[in-house]
Amino acid sequence: AQNFQIQEALEQLGIQQENNGTSTGNHWFGSGSMLSSTSPVDGAFIAKVSTSTKEDYEQVVEKAQEAFKTWRSLPAPQRGEIVRQFGDKLRELKEPLGKLVSYEMGKSYQEGLGEVQEMIDICDFAVGLSRQLHGLTMHSERPGHRMYEQYHPMGIVGIISAFNFPVAVWSWNTALAWVCGDVCIWKPSEKTPLCGIACQNIIATVLKNNNLPEGISCIINGDYKVGEFLSQDNRVPLVSATGSTRMGKIVAQTVAGRLGKSLLELGGNNAIIVTPDADIKMTVIGAVFGAVGTAGQRCTSTRRLIVHESMYDQVKEALVNAYGQLKIGNPLDQNNHVGPLIDTDAVANYQNALDQAVKEGANILVLGGVLEGNGYTSGCYVKPAIVEAKNEFKIVQQETFAPILYLLRYTGDVTNAIDQQNNVAQGLSSAIMTNNLREAERFLSVAGSDCGIANVNIGTSGAEIGGAFGGEKETGGGRESGSDAWKVYMRRQTNTINYTTELPLAQGIKFNL
Ligand code: UN1
């Protein structure tokens, strides 16, 4: 790892051997047990982070509540200015942060940089948004009355994020929440705590340079029990959670139990439909990047390829060819396409999924397996596999966070492919490869894909920040990042003002005293 200057990146990002894991900005503390972060790249220990106890959390919430009073009163464009400065700092630190993401999480350095680019992009988006938090005006039915709506910040936003996008998903939430006037408490994944510390260091410097109080950006660390501090807390009106459907159901029920709001971005089971006149070259690039990029650990990873029978053999051959060229190894080495899975538990899940597929009658087309020996000592490197299966197989119905691509077949009309693609519990991302306008439009129509994202001639992963990101069914229904996703971070207030000396009642009701 020394070859890739990890130590230098850690220094630039202010990460020490032992770090406090709780912060309200520049003030760091944390009295819980220590969490060790090890790299899936080489299995080496990187650094320790202290977890947050309930007492630590209480201190954080107190500071956040106080800070909210200052922050909400700052005009939104001035809050945007802070986010602009944060984006500038990210531009300066793009390389070390991209490197840390790659080393701590295991995705390729290119994808690590891409993730920081998403952060920069959402900051730019949020800066513009800070002058566009528009409400509507309505015409009142009463004379001399004015009616309009305005958006106010909610207060404390809790953010629970996953290991697979250890920095970008936080920024989608927090950049919007900040311009909206909210303050944030972030619990990063316990698998990537150093990415959290690095981000908090960056924003803390910006806040300090602007003489802003502690509490606007806070971080807590630990496992799901620390996340529960947020989901159970009445003082946290919105909890945004990214992760598994299992986790999301628990968070949703807990938050709903106190009538709070939750924003959920959970599992996907994303498919690409390959129609008879699909462009085969584009299909292969889209499918392979979608299936093996981030080692199949994106919510938007391509898990199923639904291929028309007339194309099946051709697609199969092209895929086997492409998989034969994949280089697996250290993700910081830019010659490699596929890095490690996050940990050995993930490797076990991958192995179990392949075993179960075989038990259900699948045919392994491209053999998987765990890599051993030189360069693979972390035990987290696996071979991307392609499995010929049926959509109704139990294992195909599940999201396995690993590079396993299920090859499915359809006959006849595109409707049959759309039915298969919709016939899973999840509803995040979907795509169709076609040059046929009728098929494309049907896929996008009311009777088409039931997912939050539906693409034509693009794969399922790699969404831009400008659109609303999220999905339906077991994906949780939340929308983050672009479009009008900001509205979930604010409360809407309807205002009616009477500028006459009369008090007419709505609906023409008479009430004489
Ligand atoms: C995720 O996997 O949680 O669309 C987010 C994409 C990325 C974000 C994925 N922009 O693949």
Instruction: Say if ligand 1 is within 6 A of residue 461 CB.
Output: yes
CA of 174 to the centre of ligand 1 (A): 16
Mean pLDDT of 214-225: 97
3-state secondary structure of 45: strand
Q: What percent of the chain has pLDDT over 90?
A: 99
Confidence of residue 5 (pLDDT cuts 50, 70, 90): confident
Active site residue 480: no
pLDDT in tens, 335-363: 999 999 999 999 999 999 999 999 999 99
Say yes or no: CB of residue 299 within 6 Å of ligand 1: yes
Give per-residue pLDDT as tens, 149-183: 999 999 999 999 999 999 999 999 999 999 999 99
Mean pLDDT of the region 265-286: 97
Q: Is residue 460 within 6 Å of ligand 1 at its C-beta?
A: no
How far is residue 292's CA from residue 405's CA, in Å, rounded to a whole number? Answer: 8
Give how far the C-alpha of residue 301 lies from the chain's centroid of Cα atoms, to the nearest Å. Answer: 12
Closest CA to 157 of 189, 188, 182, 129: 182
User: Which band of pLDDT confidence, cut at 50, 70 and 90, is reported for residue 194?
Assistant: very high
pLDDT higher than threshold 80 for residue 4: no
**Greatest C-alpha distance within the chain:** 90
Interior/surface letters 491-509, b for 16+ CB within 10 angstroms, e for the rest: eeeeeeeeeeeeeeeeeee
Which entry of 190, 214, 265, 399 is annotated as an active-site residue? 265
Q: Could you give the CA distance from residue 114 to residue 496 in angstroms, rounded to a whole number?
A: 46
The rounded percent of the chain whose pLDDT value lies above 70 is 99
Single out the residue of 91, 95, 67, 63 nearest to residue 79, CA to CA.
Answer: 67
C-alpha span between 50 and 46 (Å, rounded): 14
pLDDT at 3 over 80: no
In this predicted structure, what is the pLDDT of residue 1?
46
Read off φ and ψ for residue 145, nearest 5 degrees. -120, 145
pLDDT of residue 404 exceeding 80, the answer is: yes
Atom of ligand 1 nearest to the CA of 162: 3
Work out which ligand 1 atom sits closest to the CA atom of 297. Answer: 2
Q: Cβ(424) to ligand 1 under 6 A?
A: no
SS3 242: strand
3-state secondary structure of 159: strand
- Read off the pLDDT of residues 84-124 as tens digits, 9 standing for 90 and up: 999 999 999 999 999 999 999 999 999 999 999 999 999 99
Mutate to test the pocket of ligand 1, among 107, 266, 269, 300 (most ligand atoms within 8 A of CB): 300
Q: 164 CB less than 6 Å from ligand 1?
A: yes
Q: Give me 184's structure tokens.
A: 């944030």
Which ipTM did the prediction report? Answer: 0.97
CA-to-CA dists, residue 6 to 1, 32, 91, 104, angstroms: 7, 27, 18, 10
**452 contacts 297 by C-beta, under 8 angstroms:** no
Whether the Cβ atoms of residue 463 and residue 483 lie closer than 8 Å to each other: no
| Nearest CA owner, ligand 1 atom 6 | 462
Q: What is the DSSP string of 102-122?
A: HHHH---HHHHHHHHHHHHHH
pTM for this entry = 0.97
Tell me which H or E stretch contains 90: helix 76-92
Cα gap 23→65, rounded to integer Å: 14
pLDDT at 2 over 60: no
Closest ligand 1 atom, residue 429 Cα? 4
Average pLDDT over residues 448-472: 97
Residue 237: the pLDDT is: 98
Question: Could you report the per-residue pLDDT of 19-59, keeping only the tens digit for each?
Answer: 999 999 999 999 999 999 999 999 999 999 999 999 999 99
Q: What is the pLDDT of residue 347?
A: 98
Name the average pLDDT for the chain: 97
Please check the confidence at residue 417 and state whether its pLDDT lies above 70. yes
Phi and psi at residue 162, in whole multiples of 5°? Answer: -105, 170
Whether residue 408 has pLDDT greater than 80: yes
Confidence at residue 486, expressed as pLDDT on a 0 to 100 scale: 98
Question: Whole-angstrom Cα distance, residue 98 to residue 180?
Answer: 27
